Structure 1
Amino acid sequence: MPGPGPTIADIARAAEVSTATVSHALNGTGRLGEGTRRRVRETAAALGYGAHRGPRTRTLGVAVTTYAGSAWDFAGVAYFSRLLTAATSAAHAHGYALTTLPADRGAEPLWHTLAVDGMLLLDSPDGDRVLRALRARGLPVVFDGRPTDPRPDDVWVDNDHAATTREVLDHLAASGARRIALHSGYGHEFYTGAVTSAYAQWCAEHGRRARVVVFDPEDAAGRAFDAAFAAPDRPDAVYSVYDPGGRQVLAAAARHGIRTPRDLLLVCASEDPAYETSDPSVTTVTLRPERIAVTAVSALVTLIESGHVESPGQRTVAAGLRVRASSLPPDMY
């Protein structure tokens, strides 16, 4: 049986450079001279790096690469937790194990050497270092969320974020909202851009002022809303597109004496069941992570076992609006 192929350590020895230099050269990062970068890549090609992955391992890998390099607990976010659980079950149903990669920078060597047959990437951002490493190895990849620069044969599973955003805004407008703010603008993955663009277009079509309040995952008190909530024309509704955002909005509203839903309507994109039992209960958008996981794993297994999939591009999973008290007209609450 053939071996697993060369590692970045093998390339470093052959090129007489450090493993860090090899990583930078293969990923297109770091401050390397063009001659060094070319020599490392030629050495990698000569050794067959990425050209042969060895025998099938019956293992899939999954990585959340939105903020790859930062040590953040994505498994503590309800969306990712539910998707990973469903992806594990789906992989097992196909006879594969599933390995979840940590997000911190210390895991970077794994991107080059992990013994998997293919990878599922979640929320791949622009300039994704993990994706570059996987492509250099020739590993099959399927995405949760549209990659920022898809290739013709790429496969991804996603929601229709433009349609979902319009549904949320139409719902808030029907409940009486006239000054709807968007709580967004943090990530650099396709999701954030698609929602923000759809919001701006909806506001332009309806003659509404677009107001984006930038989300900060550390802003538990919702201080980002202080200026907006203190203004004479303060928002009378907020659509928050990240899981903790709804709690941040409620905290800021309470501090400013703003009642929900009497003074402020709220919708949050989240899978957290706590929003259903909060006071008031919060209207949420579910992106249906379980369906996304099953669809993505199935596509990845097909890609691994047949070498291609029919009709590459997006597989669309419909999101769902779960209406609760926080977005209903005040006279209905």
Structure 2
Amino acid sequence: MTPATIVDVARAAGVSKTTASDALRGHGRVSDATREAVLRAASELGYAINRSARSLRTATTGAIGLYIPQVVFRSEHYLSFVYGVVDVAAGFDYDVTVIVAGEEARPNYAPHVDGLVMIDPAEGDAMVERLLAMGLPVVSSERFPSGQQPTGVVWSDHGAYTRVLLDHLAERGAHRPALLASATVSDWSIGIQESYLAWCRDHGVEPAVAVATFGTDASQAQAEAAAILEREPDVDALIGASDGFAAAAAPVVTAAGRVIGEDLLLASCVDNSALRAMHPSVTAIDTKGGEAGAECARLLFRLLSGETERGASIELPLELHVRESTQGRSQG
């Protein structure tokens, strides 16, 4: 008699293969009723997870790699992402080998891991190309901006949420929002800038864009914010694209004689605890760093076990948190 498979269990329980797998391993968002149905089906069919066979299929090393940019420890989003990956890996009894971006790719570097998770891969990153060439399963948070694509991707529609933010600013009285954009070329940064420019075209607004390098000293973002306010005095809203840009710009706005939340609305495309604690608190898009990291890790393990096909794509919804900095005069 042919042994039962995870597909048989899923069919008997009336759930998807992924849900059945999560229920059997105790992972994912599975209700108690669904978990019981899956376990009952597995018992009736005589199904058992064959760990040794799975290890042979995937050449298990007991570790996955996590490739991160050097600026990770300056970003709450990235730190949350790392914790999300580590937490899920621990549930699978796996270690996480952290691979940090360097100035140059190490040509002979080959981490001893089963697969890789990458955070926001940027265009022109030689180490990304080196790691892809290893032929291991790769899951990335956000799509690659060009060239070869990963085995699986967890992505968010940052462009759509940027438009939601811009519409909110317009509703609160802003007529000419400016964007303090990131110099990094990635799926995330491209989505934000393209959405901003398209919104400006649709609303007959002259774009006002300045660019700063993410992860550098706050003084660069402050200098760019000051320059745009001086150059474009009719700007009445400022969006900081990268984590930290809006917080860096706040004192510059005040020094220019503007009142945040009244004649200058301030917002960020990446939320963090500092923005929530500021006075006034700053409106921001919650990029769900921890959830993104956890989802990337779960997808990688499903790819390694053969439960998910190559090319898998999962969209992670985001959320706009409206706070005092975009209150507007009409709301005062």
TM-score tier after normalising by the smaller chain length: 0.7 to 0.9
CA contact (8 A) 1:146 1:314 kept: no
Q: Which residue of 2 aligns with 1:60?
A: 64
> Residue 319 in 1 paired to residue 323 in 2?
no
Q: Which residue of 2 aligns with 1:92?
A: 90
Q: Which residue of 2 aligns with 1:299?
A: 299
CA contact (8 A) 1:282 1:324 kept: yes
Instruction: Flag the 1:131–1:227 CA change in 2: closer, same or farther, 3 A.
Output: closer
Scaled by the length of structure 2, the TM-score of the pair is: 0.76
Q: Which residue of 2 aligns with 1:117?
A: 114
CA contact (8 A) 1:84 1:293 kept: yes
Q: Which residue of 2 aligns with 1:15?
A: none
The number of residues matched between the two structures is: 273
Identity across aligned pairs (percent)? 25
SS state at 2:169 partner: helix
Instruction: Flag the 1:257–1:233 CA change in 2: closer, same or farther, 3 A.
Output: closer
What is the distance in 1 between the residues matched to 2:58 and 2:170? 56
Counterparts of residues 26-175 of structure 1 (less than 5 Å): 55-65=59-69, 72-105=70-103, 108=106, 112-149=109-146, 151=148, 154-175=151-172
Q: Which residue of 1 aligns with 2:177?
A: 180
Q: Which residue of 2 aligns with 1:328?
A: 327
CA contact (8 A) 1:283 1:322 kept: yes
Q: Which residue of 2 aligns with 1:237?
A: 237
The Cα RMSD (Å) is 2.3
What is the distance in 1 between the residues matched to 2:273 and 2:304? 35
Q: CA deviation at 1:54?
A: 9.3
Q: Which residue of 2 aligns with 1:48?
A: none
Instruction: Flag the 1:241–1:149 CA change in 2: closer, same or farther, 3 A.
Output: same
CA contact (8 A) 1:147 1:156 kept: no
What is the distance in 1 between the residues matched to 2:274 and 2:124? 35
CA contact (8 A) 1:153 1:313 kept: no
Q: CA deviation at 1:210?
A: 0.9
Structure 1 residue runs without a partner (length 5+): 1-52, 66-71
Q: Which residue of 1 aligns with 2:259?
A: 259
Instruction: Flag the 1:259–1:152 CA change in 2: closer, same or farther, 3 A.
Output: closer
Q: CA deviation at 1:179?
A: 0.7
What is the distance in 1 between the residues matched to 2:172 and 2:68? 36
Counterpart residue type for residue 101 of structure 1: I
Counterparts of residues 199-278 of structure 1 (less than 5 Å): 199-216=196-213, 217-220=216-219, 222-231=222-231, 233-278=233-278
CA contact (8 A) 2:123 2:146 kept: yes
